[in-house]
Amino acid sequence: MKVLIVEDEIMAQKSLIRTITQNFPDMEIAGTSGSVKNTVEWLKTPGNHADIIFMDVELSDGECFEIFRQHDIKSKVIMTTAYDSYAIKAFEAGSIDYLLKPIDLSALKRAVARCRTNENSIDIRSLLQAMEGGHTVQKEYKERYIIRFNDRIIPVNTDKVAYVYSEEKTNWLITFDGEKYIIDSSLDVMIEELDSDKFFRISRSCIISINAIKSIIKQSGSRLKIISTPDAPFEMTVSRSRVDDFLEWLER
């Protein structure tokens, strides 16, 4: 069986290749990609074929669902994602298997087994309807984070969080009072825990509260710069691939 791996994080890509190679001797890595554009190009190239596609949700130039809109995929697709709410419901609606990161070997074997026995193709219409709101998932959002600082434990309510950002492999939580804390949770996990009406992930390295946005400056190349309160110790910009979703989020 031929495999295509769509994953923009090189370490995660190499780890998945190693796991597949070590545990599935009949599977061949036919290709790798880290973006929507390159994946579509690979799929449209004559001679390229994959029986199974391992596909991360968030790629370097946007979400992977755009791939389905641009190309009629016949392969079995296994999503690899840190998300555990609406996305998974969408995958289920489209009869697509999924794996939560970090990937567990037993779950990987189960997903591959399902691909081997499942003869049904992907229901793209159901998938896209689910992603556009056809299926509503009720969830409770996190109310507070527990910060451990030396010998202290500090509870921080989420309505006090102005923004969270990553810098040199450290995640920082900034409150509206200007307090700065190191937090153990990853941004992938936090964006799923926080109320999506109040928080938005403007880039891979920053999540911001709507109440922390003081003003927005348009820059060249359709990028947006955010002036926040409190002031950010870095240039806070919205990734190009998220500008449209960000503007829509602002108008909710």
Give the pLDDT of residue 137.
Answer: 43
Does 139 map to a domain?
no
CB 1 within 8 A of CB 50: no
By the 8 A CB rule, do 83 and 186 touch?
no
Task: Indicate if 164 and 95 belong to the same structural domain.
Answer: no
What pLDDT score does 128 carry? 55
pLDDT digits (tens, 9 = 90+) for 20-50: 999 999 999 999 999 999 999 999 999 999 9
In 122-173, alpha helices (H): 124-129
**pLDDT at residue 219, as a whole number:** 86
pLDDT at position 85: 55
Residue closest to 246 by CA, chosen among 55, 62, 39: 62
**30 lies in the same domain as 112:** yes
Q: What's the Cα-to-Cα distance from 247 to each of 12, 208, 252, rounded to whole Å?
A: 31, 13, 9
Among 73, 105, 134, the domain-final residue is: 134
Distance CA 4, CA 56 (A): 11
For residue 43, the domain's CATH number is 3.40.50.2300
CA distances from residue 230 to 32, 44, 78, 208, 219 in whole angstroms, order as listed: 41, 47, 41, 11, 21
Sheet holding 213-218, edge to edge: 213-218, 224-228, 237-238
pLDDT at residue 87, rounded to an integer: 54
> Is the bond preceding residue 233 a cis peptide, omega within 30 degrees?
no
164-178 residue pLDDT tens:
999 988 999 999 999
127 and 9 share one domain: yes
Is residue 180 located within the same domain as residue 114? no
Could you list the residue range(s) of the whole structural domain that residue 35 is in? 2-134
**Statement to judge: residues 14 and 124 lie in one domain:** yes
Backbone dihedral angles phi then psi of residue 79, each to the nearest 5 degrees = -80, 140
pLDDT of amino acid 174: 97
- pTM for the full predicted model: 0.51
> Directed axis angle between helix 105-117 and helix 10-23, to 10°?
70
User: Could you tell me if 81 and 56 are in contact, meaning their C-beta atoms sit under 8 angstroms apart?
Assistant: yes
Low-confidence ranges of the chain (pLDDT < 50): 86, 89-90, 92-95, 134-137
**What is the domain-level CATH number for residue 152?**
2.40.50.40
